[in-house]
RNA sequence: GCCCAGGUGGCGGAAUGGUAGACGCGCUGGCUUCAGGUGCCAGUGGCCGCAAGGCCGUGGAGGUUCGAGUCCUCUCCUGGGCACCA
């Protein structure tokens, strides 16, 4: 039961009541339509975007932080006269919907759209400046139809192609599994041993752009270094030597093995050659070697996840073949099929140099192969690997002494030796220096229902035929069943049957759908013209692109952001984005998580039991059982350390939630959610409201009007700098300080009202509802959301008097207050005259006095 | 192993090479209130001291500087990312 109010909406509350004011102002913004993005040539444009959410049905507190940050930026840019685009949509395709269908019998579409409705109403309570008129979900046929149309454009430009690739195949569920669905080599649902199976799949030619995607990172000045370096590593550019070993006694057509090495300088230490089980030679040998076939089959049973390969023991199978060393043809090296060599990287074959590679050494010791050092430290001693030491792998930049080098000088760095070795080899007709990238092409085929259908048709006569654009969108059929294993599209009675777009004969529709990363690789562009009948509208994308500020979690540092960068390039090639948009995100900010303590007890069997925060008071359960407290960690349902934003908003209001998630930590770092902190935030907002009431009711005349004005302008300056530099926590700290100043001020009414209105404005990006309420109460014109941002008067920022610390030998002894522009020598005299300074000097004569104007005086003896 | 961030009060965290600990939480004391998620005032790094004041203090060890949390060298610890990548 809330207390009563004065009559009518215009009367101010006597107490801050979030539940009362928040819906009111949300409605006011809504009916003023102030957040609908409108192109306006008279203003600079600003596109702020937060990574759109997966519609799980529940907003979590991490979302609140993410969107609160974007909203601060959006509101600030709005107030500083920008035409702001701040859209929101849904990353709505993907596995959870299919899982829900399997587990609960709901249709993935119904489940998804119901979740979107639920989440949208949760969003509404946050009071964000979102332009909902541009909303779309990636599972809307209008959206994915345009995606299909772009797929066809990409196909025409050669940006998509088909090739065979290995997938995780669950033989019981008859389905392809994502890496995360494979646990210990078993399918997560069926428990069946997962096989590696080769399927023909669609790929984007992202690797053709590896060099460009790498080089362009250097120009992304407003991206975090961390993200750029993660992308650099992922792209993985390397320079090395590719050459062939002559093979003796191989099967027909196999008289050489191509290898790639980044360490050609270690060639004289080579003691074996390893090839991937998927290498053509291994496949040829398998045919009449049952043991090898069994070994390879076992290797293939491992998942395709790299971590999994990593954990596996390094094993090899001696093929019985051998190759000749290129520089010493009398020497032969055995050829092993090895489980740790990937067909996808380099040539699928390596030479092993056990002395200078830990993995090769492990392998050599296991199979009793020679270990031959090529170089040793330039100085000092070390235990050579041949004498039981570890593999010697110094940084490539370190100079070492080559004992079996064949190019360059005796003492040189690895880098120099590699270059010399490549030159030498090329000069002697042994191989070629080549640059390779770790980045592989992006496989987009998914053997699933709830994704964007790939718009091609398989015709017995014409092969793979692109669908006609006028037939788009190729919509997913609604009548599907999830009660059996496999892809529902595959066994749909009619959906697959279509005439060939080319010859008209009966043909089959492709039943694979697209990876959901495709959906999220261009949504930012679609927001510029969500209703267009082409993927984008040239005028709109020319006006709104690029995204000026993109905000999201660092977990998307690599894939989503790299794919989007590729996609923007591809869209440009097909005429869907202007050249300036090939790097679609001008500035990127990666925000930290919201964490929470974890509470646990143990049951009778000693198993850990987790407890919700609301069950715990003073580190005890209701029945008095003491609770173990584990330091803050990422919120997770299983750990029960989650806070529900809806509950928080019910209890404190959206402004409090927004204020708190921004206040306690720098935005790029994690913030710990604490109940005490949230309560403190709520109390502070209530206090700000009281301060505003007090300003309204202040005496007409008071003292310190000028001082309060100066303080107000200093606050404007500091808060503005804080917001512009993403120092939201610093801006909020400054707002606390300013509120304290105002509450203590004895200034007259008009000065106080001006200060309180400014306080409300400066807070409005974080606490928009409260700010509107105060603005209205204090007679502000129109909506605060549309009011121009206050400007600090530089003249008011300058202090007449300043306090300077006085040090003796670098230790603070006193402080003096002097006129701002007092000449140095007079400052010096004042400092030396200080009682405390004289005491510290203890009669000694100062050797030197350093005066830093406006800052400090240091007396040196 | 490699690459990034970070180590500052009881806690979250501030500090263009210039008064370390802003601001908040917590805590202590006082006042206030129809005790309605109270409000206000004061204090709060450690040690010594009644106080004035002094000494110590930003993971550790050195260094540069009139002056170092900040710069340099070495080192320890924590968090994150990457990796059978040839």
Please say whether the beta carbons of A371 and A271 come within 8 A.
yes
CA atoms within 13 A on the CB side of A816: 25
Residue-wise pLDDT for A580-627, tens only, equals: 999 999 999 998 888 887 777 888 887 778 888 777 776 777 777 777
Give one word for A534, left, alpha or beta, with left for phi > 0 and alpha for psi -120 to 50.
beta
Q: Nucleotides of chain B within 7 Å of a protein C-beta? A: 2-5, 12-16, 18-20, 22-26, 37-41, 53-55, 66-68, 80-86
Element (H, E) at A595: strand A594-602
Check if residue A334 sits with its Cβ under 7 angstroms from strand B: no
Residue A307 is predicted with a pLDDT of: 46
Would you call A3 helix, strand, or coil by DSSP?
coil
Please name the nucleotide lying closest to A722, CA to C1': B14
**Confidence class of residue A51 from pLDDT cuts 50, 70 and 90?**
very high
> In the structure, how far is the CA atom of residue A742 from the C1' atom of nucleotide B26, in angstroms?
25
- Look up tokens 């195949």; give the residue: A169
Summary count for chain A: helices (H), strands (E):
26, 34
> In the structure, how far is the CA atom of residue A826 from the C1' atom of nucleotide B49, in angstroms?
36
Please name the nucleotide lying closest to A839, CA to C1': B53
Residue A824 is predicted with a pLDDT of: 87
Contacts with A484 (C-beta within 8 Å, 6 or more apart), sequence order: A491
Structural tokens at position A391 = 């593999």
Please name the nucleotide lying closest to A671, CA to C1': B12
- Phi, psi (degrees; rounded to nearest 5) at A639: -90, -5
Residue-wise pLDDT for A115-162, tens only, equals: 999 999 999 999 999 999 999 999 999 999 999 999 999 999 999 999
Please name the nucleotide lying closest to A348, CA to C1': B86
Instruction: Please tell me the pTM assigned to this model.
Output: 0.90
**Each residue of A311-325: b (16+ CB within 10 Å) or e?**
eeebbbbebebbbbb
Q: A222: which DSSP letter? A: B
Least confident of A213-217, A310-314, A361-365, A701-705: A310-314
Give how far Cα A481 sits from Cα of A140, A447, A449, A476, Å.
20, 15, 10, 13
Residue A11 is predicted with a pLDDT of: 56
pLDDT at A853 over 80: yes
Q: What is the dihedral of CA A487, A493, A495, A499, to 10 degrees?
A: 130
CA atoms within 13 A on the CB side of A724: 9
What is the mean predicted confidence (pLDDT) over A326-352? 87
Residue A814 is predicted with a pLDDT of: 87
Would you call A415 helix, strand, or coil by DSSP?
helix
The size of chain A, in residues, is 861
Contacts with A436 (C-beta within 8 Å, 6 or more apart), sequence order: A237, A238, A239, A240, A260, A346
Residue A111 is predicted with a pLDDT of: 95
Strand B contacts (CB < 7 A) among A residues 21-40?
A: none
pLDDT at A302 over 70: no
Measured CA to CA, the distance from residue A111 to residue A98 in angstroms comes to: 9
Please say whether the beta carbons of A327 and A407 come within 8 A.
no
Q: A151: which DSSP letter? A: H
Residue-wise pLDDT for A662-685, tens only, equals: 998 889 888 888 888 899 999 999
Measured CA to CA, the distance from residue A126 to residue A661 in angstroms comes to: 13
- Most confidently modeled range among A399-403, A570-574, A608-612: A570-574
**Confidence class of residue A303 from pLDDT cuts 50, 70 and 90?**
low
Check if residue A737 sits with its Cβ under 7 angstroms from strand B: yes
Please name the nucleotide lying closest to A557, CA to C1': B81
Measured CA to CA, the distance from residue A720 to residue A729 in angstroms comes to: 12
Strand B contacts (CB < 7 A) among A residues 683-722?
A: 683-684, 686-687, 690
Measured CA to CA, the distance from residue A688 to residue A736 in angstroms comes to: 9
Please name the nucleotide lying closest to A651, CA to C1': B37
Measured CA to CA, the distance from residue A666 to residue A546 in angstroms comes to: 26
Average pLDDT along chain A: 88
Helices (H), A606-765: 645-652, 654-663, 675-696, 705-724, 728-744, 749-763
Please say whether the beta carbons of A349 and A341 come within 8 A.
yes
Residue A12 is predicted with a pLDDT of: 65
Q: A441: which DSSP letter? A: -
Check if residue A425 sits with its Cβ under 7 angstroms from strand B: no
Structural tokens at position A470 = 């006028």
Measured CA to CA, the distance from residue A747 to residue A699 in angstroms comes to: 8
Check if residue A271 sits with its Cβ under 7 angstroms from strand B: no
Give how far Cα A604 sits from Cα of A124, A400, A510, A601, A846, Å.
45, 61, 55, 10, 74
Residue A737 is predicted with a pLDDT of: 94
pLDDT at A8 over 60: no
Check if residue A350 sits with its Cβ under 7 angstroms from strand B: yes
Q: A453: which DSSP letter? A: B
Least confident of A73-77, A427-431, A453-457, A592-596: A592-596
Please say whether the dihedral angle defined by the alpha carbons of residues A13, A15, A19 and A21, taken in this order, is positive or negative.
positive
Strand B contacts (CB < 7 A) among A residues 436-495?
A: 438
pLDDT at A384 over 50: yes
> In the structure, how far is the CA atom of residue A836 from the C1' atom of nucleotide B50, in angstroms?
22
- Which one has a higher pLDDT value, A777 or A358? A777
Check if residue A261 sits with its Cβ under 7 angstroms from strand B: yes
Nearest residue to nucleotide B53, by CA–C1' distance, is A836
**Confidence class of residue A182 from pLDDT cuts 50, 70 and 90?**
low
**Confidence class of residue A9 from pLDDT cuts 50, 70 and 90?**
very low
Residue A6 is predicted with a pLDDT of: 35
ipTM for the predicted complex comes to: 0.92
Strand B contacts (CB < 7 A) among A residues 202-241?
A: 225-226, 229-230, 233-234, 236, 238, 240
pLDDT at A470 over 70: yes
Strand B contacts (CB < 7 A) among A residues 365-424?
A: 395
What is the mean predicted confidence (pLDDT) over A816-827? 87
Q: A789: which DSSP letter? A: P
How many other C-beta atoms can be found within 10 angstroms of the C-beta atom of residue A664? 20
Strand B contacts (CB < 7 A) among A residues 795-824?
A: 803-805, 807, 809-813, 815
What is the mean predicted confidence (pLDDT) over A503-512? 94
Element (H, E) at A630: strand A628-634
Please say whether the beta carbons of A166 and A157 come within 8 A.
no
> In the structure, how far is the CA atom of residue A810 from the C1' atom of nucleotide B62, in angstroms?
20
Residue A311 is predicted with a pLDDT of: 52
Please say whether the beta carbons of A277 and A196 come within 8 A.
no
Please say whether the beta carbons of A353 and A269 come within 8 A.
yes
> In the structure, how far is the CA atom of residue A860 from the C1' atom of nucleotide B7, in angstroms?
33
> In the structure, how far is the CA atom of residue A818 from the C1' atom of nucleotide B48, in angstroms?
34
**Confidence class of residue A630 from pLDDT cuts 50, 70 and 90?**
confident
Please say whether the dihedral angle defined by the alpha carbons of residues A192, A197, A203 and A209, taken in this order, is positive or negative.
positive
Residue A627 is predicted with a pLDDT of: 77
């Amino acid at each position: 039961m809330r207390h009563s109010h004065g009559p009518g909406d215009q009367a101010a509350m006597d107490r801050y009541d979030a539940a009362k004011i928040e819906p009111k102002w949300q409605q006011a913004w809504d009916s003023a339509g102030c957040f609908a993005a409108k192109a306006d040539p008279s203003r600079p444009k600003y596109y702020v975007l937060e990574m759109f959410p997966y519609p799980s049905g529940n907003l979590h507190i991490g979302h609140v932080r993410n969107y609160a940050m974007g909203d601060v930026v959006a509101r600030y840019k709005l107030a500083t006269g920008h035409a702001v685009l701040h859209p929101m949509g849904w990353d709505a395709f993907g596995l959870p919907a299919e899982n829900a269908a399997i587990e609960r019998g709901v249709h993935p579409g119904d489940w998804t759209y119901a979740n979107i409705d639920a989440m949208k109403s949760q969003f509404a309570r946050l009071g964000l400046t979102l332009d909902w008129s541009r909303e779309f979900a990636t599972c809307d046929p209008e959206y994915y139809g345009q995606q299909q149309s772009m797929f066809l454009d990409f196909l025409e430009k050669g940006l998509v192609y088909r090739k065979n690739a290995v997938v995780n195949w669950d033989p019981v569920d008859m389905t392809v599994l994502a890496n995360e669905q494979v646990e210990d080599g078993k399918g997560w649902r069926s428990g069946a041993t997962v096989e590696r199976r080769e399927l023909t799949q669609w790929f984007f030619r992202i690797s053709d752009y590896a060099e460009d995607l790498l080089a362009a990172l250097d120009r992304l000045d407003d991206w975090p270094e961390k993200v750029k370096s993660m992308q650099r590593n992922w792209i993985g550019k390397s320079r090395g030597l590719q050459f062939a070993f002559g093979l003796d006694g191989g099967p027909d057509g196999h008289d050489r093995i191509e290898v790639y090495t980044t360490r050609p300088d270690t060639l004289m230490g080579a003691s074996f050659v390893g090839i991937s089980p998927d290498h053509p030679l291994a496949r040829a040998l398998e045919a009449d070697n049952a043991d090898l076939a069994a070994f390879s089959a076992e290797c293939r049973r491992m998942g395709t996840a790299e971590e999994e390969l990593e954990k596996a023991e390094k094993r090899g199978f001696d093929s019985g073949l051998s190759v000749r060393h290129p520089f010493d043809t009398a020497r032969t090296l055995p050829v092993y099929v090895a489980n740790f060599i990937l067909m996808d990287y380099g040539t699928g074959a390596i030479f092993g140099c056990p002395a200078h590679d830990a993995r090769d050494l492990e392998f050599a010791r296991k199979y009793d192969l020679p270990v031959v050092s090529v170089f040793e430290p330039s100085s000092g001693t070390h235990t050579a690997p041949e004498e039981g030491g570890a593999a010697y792998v110094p940084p490539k930049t370190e100079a070492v002494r080559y004992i079996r080098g064949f190019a360059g000088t005796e003492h040189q760095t690895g880098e120099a030796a590699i270059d010399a070795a490549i030159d030498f080899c090329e000069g002697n007709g042994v191989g070629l220096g080549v640059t390779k990238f770790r980045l592989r092409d992006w496989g987009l085929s998914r053997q699933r229902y709830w994704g964007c259908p790939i718009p091609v048709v398989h015709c017995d006569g014409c092969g793979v035929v692109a669908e006609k654009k006028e037939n788009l969108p190729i919509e997913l059929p609604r009548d599907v069943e999830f009660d059996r294993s496999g892809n529902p599209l595959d066994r749909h009675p009619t959906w697959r049957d279509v005439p060939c777009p080319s010859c008209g004969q009966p043909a089959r529709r492709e039943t694979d759908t697209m990876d959901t990363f495709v959906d999220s690789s261009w949504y930012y562009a679609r927001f510029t013209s969500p209703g267009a009948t082409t993927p984008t509208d040239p005028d709109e994308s020319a006006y709104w692109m690029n995204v000026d500020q993109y905000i999201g979690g660092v977990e998307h540092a690599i894939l989503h952001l790299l794919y989007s960068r590729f996609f923007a390039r591809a869209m440009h090639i097909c005429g869907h984005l202007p050249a300036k948009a090939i790097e679609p995100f001008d500035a990127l900010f990666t925000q930290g998580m919201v964490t929470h303590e974890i509470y646990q007890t143990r049951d009778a069997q000693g198993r850990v039991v987790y407890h919700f925060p609301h069950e715990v008071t003073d580190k005890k359960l209701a029945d008095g059982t003491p609770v173990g407290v584990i330091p803050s960690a990422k919120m997770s349902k299983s750990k029960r350390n989650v806070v529900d934003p809806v509950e928080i908003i019910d209890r404190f209001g959206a402004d409090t939630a927004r204020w708190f998630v921004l206040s306690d930590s720098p935005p790029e770092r994690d913030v710990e959610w604490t109940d005490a902190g949230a309560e403190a935030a709520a109390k502070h907002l209530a206090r700000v409201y009281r301060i505003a009431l007090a300003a309204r009711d202040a005496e007409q005349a008071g003292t310190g009007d000028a001082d309060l004005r100066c303080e107000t302008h200093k606050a404007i300056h500091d808060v503005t700098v804080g917001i512009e530099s993403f120092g939201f926590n610093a801006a909020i700290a400054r707002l606390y300080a300013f509120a304290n100043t105002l509450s203590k001020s004895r200034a007259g009414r008009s000065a106080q009202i001006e200060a309180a209105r400014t306080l409300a404005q400066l807070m409005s990006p974080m606490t928009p509802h409260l700010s509107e309420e105060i603005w209205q109460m204090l007679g502000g014109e129109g909506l605060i959301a549309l009011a121009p941002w206050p400007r600090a008067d530089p003249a008011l920022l300058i202090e007449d008097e300043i306090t300077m610390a006085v040090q003796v030998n670098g230790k603070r002894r006193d402080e003096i207050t002097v006129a701002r522009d007092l000449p140095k020598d007079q400052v010096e005299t004042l400092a030396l005259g200080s009682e405390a300074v004289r005491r510290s000097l203890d009669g000694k004569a100062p050797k030197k006095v350093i005066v830093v104007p406006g800052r400090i005086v240091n007396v040196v003896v």
